[in-house]
Amino acid sequence: MRLLELAGYLLEGASTAERVGAGRIVGGWEYVYAAYGITYAAIIVYTLSLWLRRRSAQQSEDFR
Amino acid sequence: MNRVRWAIFIVAVAMLGVGAWLALAWAPPDREMGDVQRIMYVHVPQVWMALLAATLNFGCSVAYLFKKSWKTDALAEASAEVGVLFGAVGISLGSIWGRPTWGVWWAWDPRLTTAAILLVAYAGYLALRRFVEDPERRAVWSAVTAIVAYVDVPLIWYSVQWWRSLHQVQSSPKTVDPQMTLVLRWHAFAFLGLLIFFIWSRYQIAMAARKHELAMPAELDEGARIQTSQAAR
């Protein structure tokens, strides 16, 4: 049992060392999704704000 | 003209949709940064657009001081607001990218500091436009403010070359995987479309506000310059 655990640690360590050796940052998809989510949300909110302001400007012109 | 404006928006949004697939599934991960490098495809173009909007704002401000026109003033206002939007999102995305790569959300590095100064300067510019009621004074004061604020733009661009910075220097297509270059350019054109659509739409709102303020005729032609307000006094 102990031997198996040890083998597991060794394999995991070798794989980690391989990744670190390549200089890679592993994972991080949550940061990627957050960045794209913020971008799309900002575009949607700003487009909506422009549309509402344009409509309000048109209404005030019509009123005038 | 409104059809052209909306066509630009639809094309830009469609390009962003395809761009999401290209950036998240098609482009290879970076050798050093792995998948977090994919943030570059939305971070870099948005900062470019903020700098482009600041340049347009600067050009309009200089033009206004030479030849007073409500059109250049409205375009300056529109470009500043859209520039602040792209700048704020671009800096936020840079901060998100910084956390897994540098280990911190923010560092007072020359590139980040100059970018933050630009954002604060243009937010101040927009606040100034809100506080000054007289349209002519507002236009002149904000034009001068915009010219002063623009000094920061070359500092942002060259900061990574002039000072020893945590932020990387500008990449070149020669040093980057061609797939990455293509995805970056694709996004740059998509965001350029959005920039044009946003500035165009915001310009129309600004012009409507000027007409309302000055009770100008509905159709503004080349002759409808600042003299209209002077005559109205």
Residue with tokens 């004061």, as numbered in its chain? B141
Please tell me which residue, A27 or B103, carries the higher pLDDT value: B103
Q: What 3-state class would DSSP assign to B28?
A: coil
Residues 33-52 of A with CB under 8 A from B: 34-36, 38-40, 42-43, 46-47, 50
Q: Among A27-41, A49-63, B27-41, B182-196, which stretch is predicted with the lowest mean pLDDT?
A: A49-63
- Looking at this protein, which amino acid is placed at residue A38? I
Nearest CA in chain B to A34: B96
Least CB–CB distance from B42: residue in A25, A35, A53: A35
Nearest CA in chain A to B43: A35
Q: Among A34-38, B19-23, B95-99, B158-162, which stretch is predicted with the lowest mean pLDDT?
A: B158-162
| B206 burial via Cβ count (<10 Å: 0-12, 13-18, 19+) | buried
Q: Which of A39, A50, A60 to mutate to test the interface with B (most CBs of B within 10 A)?
A: A39
pTM of model > 0.95: no
Q: How far is CA A10 from CA A7, A16, A18, A25, A26, in A?
A: 5, 10, 12, 21, 19
Q: Report the alpha-carbon distance of residue B164 to residue B162 in Å, rounded.
A: 7
Q: Report the alpha-carbon distance of residue A36 to residue B130 in Å, rounded.
A: 31
Residues of A in contact with B39 (CB under 8 A): 31-32, 35
Q: Which of B205, B207, B216, B220 to mutate to test the interface with A (most CBs of A within 10 A)?
A: B205
For residue range B131-177, what is the model confidence (pLDDT) as tens digits? Answer: 998 999 999 999 999 999 999 999 999 888 888 778 888 877 777 88
Nearest CA in chain B to A43: B194
Residues 9-28 of B with CB under 8 A from A: 9, 13, 16, 20, 23-24
pLDDT at B224 over 70: no
Residues of B in contact with A44 (CB under 8 A): none
Of residues A10, A54, A37, the one with CA closest to residue B201: A54
**Angle in degrees, CA B204, B222, B70, rounded to 5:** 50
Q: Report the alpha-carbon distance of residue B219 to residue A20 in Å, rounded.
A: 65
Least CB–CB distance from A35: residue in B32, B97, B204: B97
Length of chain B: 233
- Looking at this protein, which amino acid is placed at residue B86? F
ipTM of the complex: 0.88
Do residue A31 and residue B43 have CB atoms under 8 angstroms apart?
A: no
**Angle in degrees, CA B10, B12, B17, rounded to 5:** 95
Chain mean pLDDT for chain B = 90
Q: What 3-state class would DSSP assign to A13?
A: helix
pLDDT on residue B164: 78
Chain mean pLDDT for chain A = 77
Q: Report the alpha-carbon distance of residue B57 to residue B122 in Å, rounded.
A: 10
Taken in order of first residue, the domains within chain B and their CATH numbers are: 2-168+176-226 (1.20.120)
Of residues B155, B140, B129, the one with CA closest to residue B209: B129
Q: Report the alpha-carbon distance of residue B229 to residue B73 in Å, rounded.
A: 14
Q: Report the alpha-carbon distance of residue B34 to residue B60 in Å, rounded.
A: 42
Q: How confident is the model at residue A23 (pLDDT cuts 50, 70, 90)?
A: very low
Query: Residue B138 is encoded by which pair of tokens?
Result: 């507002």
Do residue A28 and residue B34 have CB atoms under 8 angstroms apart?
A: yes
